[in-house]
Homo-oligomer: A and B are copies of this chain.
Amino acid sequence: MVQKYGGSSLATVSQVRQVADRVGALARSGRRVVVVVSAQGDTTDELIGRAGAVNPHPAGHELDQLLATGETASAALMAMALQHSGLAATALSGSRSGILATGPHGAGVIVAIDTEQLRTLLDAGQVVVIAGFQGVTADGDIITLGRGGSDTTAVAVAAELRAGHCEIYSDVRGVYTADPRVVPDARLMPDIDIDVMTEMAFAGARVMHSRAVELAALYDVDILVGRSTATRTGTRIHRLHRRDGNDMLEDRTAVMAVVHDTDIARITLRTHDTPDPSPAVFRFLAEESIPADMTTVASAPGGGFSLGLTVHRSHAADVSRSFSDLMAPRRHGVEVEDQVAKVSIVGQGLLSRPEYASRMLASLVGSGISARSLSASQLRVSVTVPSSDAVRAVGLLHSEFGLGAEAGAMPASLSPRP
């Protein structure tokens, strides 16, 4: 059994004790238990703040070393709490747990896990507590795994231990048809297909990071996400087949949830001449490991190109400055829109049936919301809207596709259209 506890579940001493009680009960029932922990509460942000106060541009090597202490401390505390309750427990930092990683500092990827020590400890009846979010390079350097790192650690450990199952606990009850803070009648989904979840996570659903879900999909690890204080409810993320629903073969309800992300910025680069700036732009994004979404490249009527893309807002300044550097001395312009939000519908087969994009746009435009930069794939249709309209847009689409608690039984294809 692999369980991961997020920082908000470990913020206070009493929370750490509560989690230790849960884990202890499981261990005493005879299960082999691995616990992966995040840094307590806002520790990571505090550490970043402290680093910035000392040096506005800290080196990646040192920043990773600093940040990794958050999870390492958390793991030590959890193991102490377990030991205090009379259990045999061992805390392992990322390097001690055999998690081998590579890539740039701050954005590492796990390449392998040496599970020998892990298995030895488990065989000896120990509860093993692993510091999430970190790994060690072949050279012995500590490297952090970037956003979603602890979830990724937990899934990777579950995959390598052939556990087939992984539980991710935080302060959210599970996966909803829309953000429940924004849409009051959003439904908690008991199950969601793992590929659809990957897309939801990439589109902005906070409950889990897409790379962790993706790894789970590849290695056939079922995930349960839920609140650490709750009993076993929440959302199961796994291979979901629709057979048991009341959908009818091809005429089914394809839209499953609405996701929004207000932490984005839209960046548009315009050139007035050839060549196409895309290769240079994508090389830069690859080198810096900056995921971009909703890429549009259009050639302008008078020659030149307009290249637009959406990145996490924290990358906006860096990306726009780098675009200017890349294009100099060519005549060009870079526009940054940071008062925008990404709103997406996710589901299956959305491209095959063009009605979904059409209904999405009609619903938004009919309510006076300007939807831009449409980008569509089989699993997701995304648009950008003004930030001030994001909440309203999510509510409109949630209702348009009949996702609410009341309308739950009615297939979206029968719901009234505008």
Contacts and interface: CB of A to CB of B under 8 A. Distances in A.
Interface of A: 102, 109-113, 152, 156, 159-160, 195, 198-199, 202, 210-211, 214-215, 217-220, 239, 241-243, 248-252, 268, 270, 275-276, 278-279, 282-283, 285-286, 289-293, 295-301, 306, 308, 333, 348-349, 351-355, 357-359, 361-362, 365, 370-380
State the oligomeric state as a number of copies: 2
Contact of A156 (B211, B220, B249, B357): B249
Contacts of A365: 275-276, 279
Contacts of A380: 377
A354 B285 contact: yes
A217 B371 CA distance: 31
A250 to B, nearest CB: 4
Given A285-B357, A289-B353, A295-B375, 4 more contacts: A111-B248, A112-B248, A276-B372, A291-B354
A354 B292 contact: yes
Contacts of A113: 249
Contact of A220 (B243, B278, B296, B375): B243
Given A219-B243, A220-B241, A380-B377, A250 B211 contact: yes
B279 A361 contact: yes
A289 to B, nearest CB: 7
A275 B365 CA distance: 10
A152 B111 contact: no
